[in-house]
Amino acid sequence: MPKSCPTCGNSEPKVKFFGNFCEDCSKEKFLSRLPKTVQLQVCKRCGKIKANGSFAPPTGSNIEIAIKPQIGRYSIHLIDFTDSSAKLDVAEETANGKLAVELPVVIEQKRVLCDMCYKKACNYYEAVMQLRGNNYKIARFIERVTRFFDVNNEFVGEVDYNSDGADVYLSNKRLAQAYISKNKMHSTNSYTLSGVKNGKRIYKNTYALRLE
Ligand SMILES: [Zn+2]
Ligand SMILES: [Zn+2]
């Protein structure tokens, strides 16, 4: 006996079936179980989005990663997106095979500050490089260390120029040390206690460097 769809009344072989319901009605039902709105956390300063726990550039693949957990256990593929909407391919493996639908969603942007922008906003720093010596070399050094911090997702904050040279404030002391080691430079180091976190003493490091 040909199947007849309990929802729309269409029957085989006029329409394809997916279990007890016709394909169209199965898709309708699947769509009705999916969210119409998803949220994206967007940094209001740099525009990065939160995907998988950390902030990343708002590319298609990162948006897909950010949306995925909100769609549930289904496999998704981002077809198209704007700032406020997206179109997704969503597929479910059923006992009758793969059921795929195109899902339009509204993107609700939650404007936040990413970790880095938050640190910049409060002038956070872990290390200071005290640069002394040739002013031209100091300027070149600051350019290079700024680039190095940028590509490693950290930042150079304030730069204080004074009659002796410049003091450069850096967001990450491990990276500051790595830069000095990488360039085989010799620094005179000092450590200032800046606080205690979870019972551990936190130091800010100062690296005095001579550039002749
Ligand atoms: Zn139907
Ligand atoms: Zn940011």
Centre of ligand 1 from the C-alpha of residue 7, in Å: 5
Q: Angle formed by the axes of helices 135-151 and 173-182, to 10°? A: 120
Centre of ligand 1 from the C-alpha of residue 27, in Å: 9
Residue 9 lies in a domain: no
Cβ 158 vs Cβ 123: under 8 Å: yes
pLDDT for residue 137 is more than 90: yes
Question: Which ligand has the minimum distance to the alpha carbon of residue 4?
Answer: 1
157 lies in the same domain as 91 = no
Rounded Cα distance between 128 and 207, Å, is 6
User: What 3-state class would DSSP assign to 176?
Assistant: helix
Distances (CA, A) of 106 to 40, 100, 123: 10, 19, 36
pLDDT for residue 12 is more than 90: no
Structural domain that includes position 171: 123-211
Centre of ligand 1 from the C-alpha of residue 13, in Å: 12
Rounded Cα distance between 81 and 85, Å, is 6
Centre of ligand 2 from the C-alpha of residue 65, in Å: 18
pLDDT for residue 197 is more than 90: no
31 lies in the same domain as 79 = yes
If you average pLDDT over every residue of the chain, what do you get?
Answer: 94
95 lies in the same domain as 133 = no
pLDDT tier at 2, thresholds 50, 70, 90 = confident
pLDDT digits (tens, 9 = 90+) for 51-96: 999 999 999 999 999 999 999 899 999 999 999 999 999 999 988 8
192 lies in the same domain as 105 = no
Rounded Cα distance between 23 and 11, Å, is 11
Give pTM, 2 decimals.
0.77
- Of 169, 130, 172, 124, the C-alpha closest to 151 is 172
Domains of the chain: total: 2
Q: Which of 113, 134, 162 is the last residue of a domain?
A: 113
169 lies in the same domain as 88 = no
147 lies in the same domain as 204 = yes
Question: Which ligand has the minimum distance to the alpha carbon of residue 121?
Answer: 2
Centre of ligand 1 from the C-alpha of residue 35, in Å: 22
154 lies in the same domain as 100 = no
Tokens of residue 73, six digits: 């256990």
Rounded Cα distance between 206 and 74, Å, is 51
Q: Which of 51, 82, 113 is the last residue of a domain?
A: 113
pLDDT score of 1: 80
pLDDT score of 180: 97
Centre of ligand 2 from the C-alpha of residue 121, in Å: 10
100 lies in the same domain as 131 = no
pLDDT for residue 194 is more than 90: no
44 lies in the same domain as 78 = yes
Q: Return the higher-pLDDT residue of 174 and 194.
A: 174
